[in-house]
Amino acid sequence: TSATSSHLGGIQVAPPDAILGLTDAFKADKNPDKMNLSVGVYKDASGQTPILRCVKAAERHLVETEATKGYLPIDGGPDYRDHVRTLVFGSEIDSTRVCVAQTPGGTGGLRQAAAFLADQMGPTRVWIPSPTWANHKAIFASEELPIEEYRYLADDKKSLDAAGMLEDLRTRSKPGDAVLLHACCHNPTGVDPTLSQWKEIASVVSEKRLLPLIDFAYQGFGTGLEEDAKSIAEILSQVDEAFVCSSFSKNFGLYSERVGALSIVSADAKTSVSVQSQMKRLIRCNYSNPPRHGAAVVAAILDDADLTTMWHDELNQMRTRIKDLRERFVTTMKSTGAGHDFSFLLDQNGMFSFSGLNPMQVDELRNEHSIYIVGSGRINVAGMSENKMEQLCGAVAKVIEG
Ligand code: PLP
């Protein structure tokens, strides 16, 4: 059929998702020693992405007690929303200023935030860090929001270009622009501002009257649940309004259940009522209302003191294991004698780090050693394993030495 007589015949093949495409290649690879350090999921020592014990317990409880699969409210259940508000903002915040909507994952939260900016405020120009999670650009572009980049990673590819970031926001942004910030565990670099740098960022956001749009996909993976929220508290100590997109994919291991939230903080309760109503209107014509199961699991855990303690323990284990893998990688790389110091990985947070490997070295790792990492050199540290560390470091040493 020619494109002129067919409605669909002229459609071109879209490029595959850069990261999920790598997973397809990984699955097809026959090498038994292959390693996937690309996609951002946590793996335990046996290479599995486990269901947390607290989640299993909550699910058993739900099977016994859940009475309906009727629709949830457009913005999710009130119990879940209260828990999200406390996790993100602590118990001190005036709850009448915060409206929370349960969303399908952190991605759903970001997309609803973008829809809100496009529909109610704009279209607002959005500043994103360079680099950032690849999906950020696509999400804001889908709502036709203009996008600008601010400097983030320094030229050494290991540290924050704080001066560049502050200068870009101070001199290039205009009042009313939104600025996307990663609250902790910056993806893809693992490089986070210190608390005193957050103070400076908050000052610029306040001076320039920018709207903070905070991506909080890794709460608990940096230093701890409360510690990781300090960046948000710092911002809110200097400005009255903010958007926060939470994801419970990583910290509850609920990836495929699609559990997240969009919280919008307003200056006063009256504004918050209007904001909540518009947020609901926008959700209604998108996915109508959120899925029940994952959010019910989260709420069941946070409603129960024992399950909450169990969750804290399991989250701490994931976080400390990743830190331990960072240390093992650095010391094992030292012992290869490859002469490349990776100790900067120890200063970085969360699942990811920029390894500094160039695209040629990344290709060679894949082609010669069946080790899959993203072309930018981003490594998912949480995908490493203790028993394959020698193999990994040996291969990295080989590609570095050329
Ligand atoms: N934001 C960042 C920075 C992420 O890394 C991710 C997941 O990889 C998300 C948002 C989205 O998370 P979810 O899977 O909950 O949609």
Query: What does the pLDDT look like over 12-29, one tens digit per residue?
Result: 998 878 777 888 889 999
Whether residue 83 contacts residue 299, with contact meaning beta carbons closer than 8 Å, is answered with yes
Q: Which of 84, 187, 248 to mutate to test the pocket of ligand 1 (most atoms within 8 A of CB)?
A: 187
Residue 2 reports pLDDT greater than 70: no
Residues in contact with ligand 1 by the CB-under-6-Å rule are 40, 105-107, 133, 182, 187, 215, 217, 247, 249, 260
**What positions carry a catalytic annotation?**
133, 215, 250
Q: Which atom of ligand 1 is nearest to the CA of 249?
A: 15
C-alpha torsion 61→67→69→70, nearest 10? -140
Confidence of residue 294 (pLDDT cuts 50, 70, 90): very high
Q: Specify the residue with its C-alpha closest to ligand 1, atom 12.
A: 106
Centroid of ligand 1 to alpha carbon of 175 (angstroms): 28
For the chain, domains (ranges, CATH) are 18-52+307-401 (3.90.1150.10), 71-303 (3.40.640.10)
Bridge partners of residue 103, in order along the sequence: 260
Kindly report the number of other CB atoms within 10 A of residue 108's CB atom: 25
Q: Specify the residue with its C-alpha closest to ligand 1, atom 1.
A: 217
Residue 54 reports pLDDT greater than 60: yes
Tokens of 352: 């990811």
Burial 118-140 (b: 16+ CB within 10 A, else e): beeebebbbbbbebbbbebeebb
The DSSP secondary structure of 136-180, one letter per residue, reads HHHHHHHTT--EEEEE-B-TTSSSB-HHHHHHHHHHH--TT-EEE
- Dihedral of CA 73/75/77/82: which sign? negative
Confidence of residue 51 (pLDDT cuts 50, 70, 90): very high
pLDDT of amino acid 165:
98
Closest CA to 326 of 346, 344, 342: 346
DSSP SS3 for 48: coil
Centroid of ligand 1 to alpha carbon of 337 (angstroms): 36
Confidence of residue 357 (pLDDT cuts 50, 70, 90): very high
ipTM: 0.99
Q: Which of 38, 135, 380 to mutate to test the pocket of ligand 1 (most atoms within 8 A of CB)?
A: 135
Report how far residue 79's alpha carbon sits from residue 326's, in angstroms, rounded to the nearest whole number: 37
Report how far residue 202's alpha carbon sits from residue 234's, in angstroms, rounded to the nearest whole number: 7
Q: What is the pLDDT of residues 130-150, one digit of tens each?
A: 999 999 999 999 999 999 999
Q: What is the pLDDT of residues 297-348, one digit of tens each?
A: 999 999 999 999 999 999 999 999 999 999 999 999 999 988 889 999 999 9
Tell me the range of 19-33, 280-294, 352-366 where mean pLDDT is highest.
280-294
Q: Specify the residue with its C-alpha closest to ligand 1, atom 8.
A: 40
Q: For the residues 181-195, what does the mean pLDDT come to?
A: 97
pLDDT of amino acid 89:
98
Q: Give the residue, 156 or 17, on which the prediction is more confident.
A: 156
The residues, any chain, with a CB within 8 Å of residue 63's CB and separated by 6 or more, are none
Q: For the residues 170-182, what does the mean pLDDT come to?
A: 98
Chain-centroid distance, C-alpha 99: 21
- Dihedral of CA 98/104/109/112: which sign? negative
Tokens of 264: 């919008």
At 185, give phi and psi (nearest 5°).
55, 55
pLDDT of amino acid 149:
98
Say how many CA atoms lie within 13 Å of 48 toward its Cβ. 4
Percent of the chain having pLDDT more than 70?
99
Q: Which of 133, 152, 184, 374 to mutate to test the pocket of ligand 1 (most atoms within 8 A of CB)?
A: 133
The residues, any chain, with a CB within 8 Å of residue 235's CB and separated by 6 or more, are 181, 198, 201, 202, 205, 212, 214, 242
The DSSP secondary structure of 177-245, one letter per residue, reads -EEEEESSS-TTT-----HHHHHHHHHHHHHTT-EEEEEES-TTTSS-HHHHTHHHHHHHTT-S-EEEE
Centroid of ligand 1 to alpha carbon of 328 (angstroms): 26
Centroid of ligand 1 to alpha carbon of 187 (angstroms): 9
Whether residue 213 contacts residue 180, with contact meaning beta carbons closer than 8 Å, is answered with yes
Centroid of ligand 1 to alpha carbon of 96 (angstroms): 27
Residue 4 reports pLDDT greater than 80: no
